[in-house]
């Protein structure tokens, strides 16, 4: 079981994101007016200001834009994970999200590397999206 410090604090607006993740689906808000995917969750579309949207499953694939590898523990809850990476992934649908890249040595990470989502079942409530190389 994960330390409480590792679990997200969930706002009502983003609850569907976590409900989909628990089912191992990467779903994002998709604007009902212009079709733009958005992340993180927002009450209105940044492209057209519409407040109409639907939670829509994505392909769960994208490319690494950037990353950092932490070699020092800044938070006690992550001490046993050192070294670990945190990457920016540009999803094929457009949004960029932050996640860990798993199943690869940190020294092999590359900008543009294609990745796909995997889910880390933390506890009965949370599955955390992470990515692995395609």
Domain boundaries, the chain: 4-133
Residue 1: partners with Cβ closer than 8 Å, 6 or more residues away: 122, 123
Cα separation, 119 vs 116, in Å, equals 10
Does residue 1 carry a pLDDT above 60?
A: no
CB atoms within 10 A of CB 85: 17
Q: pLDDT tens for residues 13-71?
A: 999 999 999 999 999 999 999 999 999 999 999 999 999 999 999 999 999 999 999 99
Per-residue pLDDT at 7? 84
Q: How confident is the model at residue 133 (pLDDT cuts 50, 70, 90)?
A: very high
Closest CA to 70 of 52, 79, 54, 82: 82
Span 4-133: which CATH code?
2.40.50.840
Per-residue pLDDT at 4? 53
Task: Locate all alpha helices (DSSP H) within 12-95, ordered by sequence.
Answer: 15-22
For 4-13, 26-35, 82-91, which range has the lowest pLDDT when averaged over its residues? Answer: 4-13
């Amino acid at each position: 079981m994960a330390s409480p410090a590792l679990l997200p604090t969930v706002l009502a607006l983003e609850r569907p994101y976590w409900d989909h993740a628990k089912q191992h689906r990467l779903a994002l808000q998709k604007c009902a007016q212009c079709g733009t995917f958005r992340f993180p969750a927002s009450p209105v579309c940044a492209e057209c200001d519409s407040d109409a949207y639907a939670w829509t499953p994505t392909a769960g694939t994208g490319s690494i834009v950037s990353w950092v590898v932490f070699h020092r523990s800044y938070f006690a809850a992550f001490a046993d994970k050192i070294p670990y990476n945190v990457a920016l992934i540009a999803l094929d649908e457009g949004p960029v999200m932050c996640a860990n890249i798993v199943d690869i040595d940190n020294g092999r990470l590359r900008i543009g590397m294609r990745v796909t989502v995997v889910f880390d079942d933390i506890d009965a409530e949370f599955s955390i999206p992470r990515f692995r190389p395609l």
